[in-house]
Amino acid sequence: MEYTGSQYIGEFVDGRMEGEAEYILPTETKYVGEMKDGMFHGQGTLYFPSGSRYDAIWEKGLVVKGTYTFSDGLQYDAENWHYCDSYDRRFYTEICYGLKPAGISQLTNVDPPRKIPPGCYDCGDGFYNPTTRIVKDYKNHFLRNADDDEHEWIIRTCRKGW
């Protein structure tokens, strides 16, 4: 654990992580559930710093079946996903609480929208700086480096800070 920056709270069997456990990654993503032979195995949930979660059944570290739930309670449905697409352009908060009066726009699911730093983009889980190609969360903590595909998608679709 000292090499990866992770933290493990749980049982060991023959020196391996096994049984009910909590595994905290350096990114503050936390797994709570069953472990076997040092891997996620059985029922378990990943909790993300953004407040979203992924409930799943795991087998030898791989997902067998799972459900992703955004921090606002919206569940992702791979087969019938119509959230904010060409079929229905409303944000989840508009679906739950209704539309704003005519003439008042809602720019994001969060209302009022977050103030984006100059030169950056709001990519949903944080701000993206196209110069450094780094995504930081809304508290300015490093999340990830964007690859070419994500960079192009953010530039094409996300809200700009200028």
What is the tens place of the pLDDT at every residue in 72-98?
888 888 777 766 666 777 777 887 888
Amino acid identity of residue 128, one-letter, is Y
Low-confidence ranges of the chain (pLDDT < 50): none
pTM (2 decimals)?
Answer: 0.60
Please give the pLDDT value at position 84.
Answer: 64
In the prediction, which pLDDT does 6 show? Answer: 92
Residues 6+ apart with CB under 8 A from 126: 135, 136, 137, 138, 143
pLDDT for the residue numbered 98: 83
Reported residue count of the chain is 162
Of 44, 100, 45, 91, nearest to 72 (Cα)?
91
In the block, tokens 């679709």 appear at 157
pLDDT of residue 103: 84
pLDDT at 85: 66
pLDDT at residue number 57? 97
The C-alpha atoms of residue 48 and residue 146 are separated, in whole angstroms, by 18
The residues, ordered by sequence, that sit 6+ positions from 96 with a Cβ below 8 Å of its Cβ are none
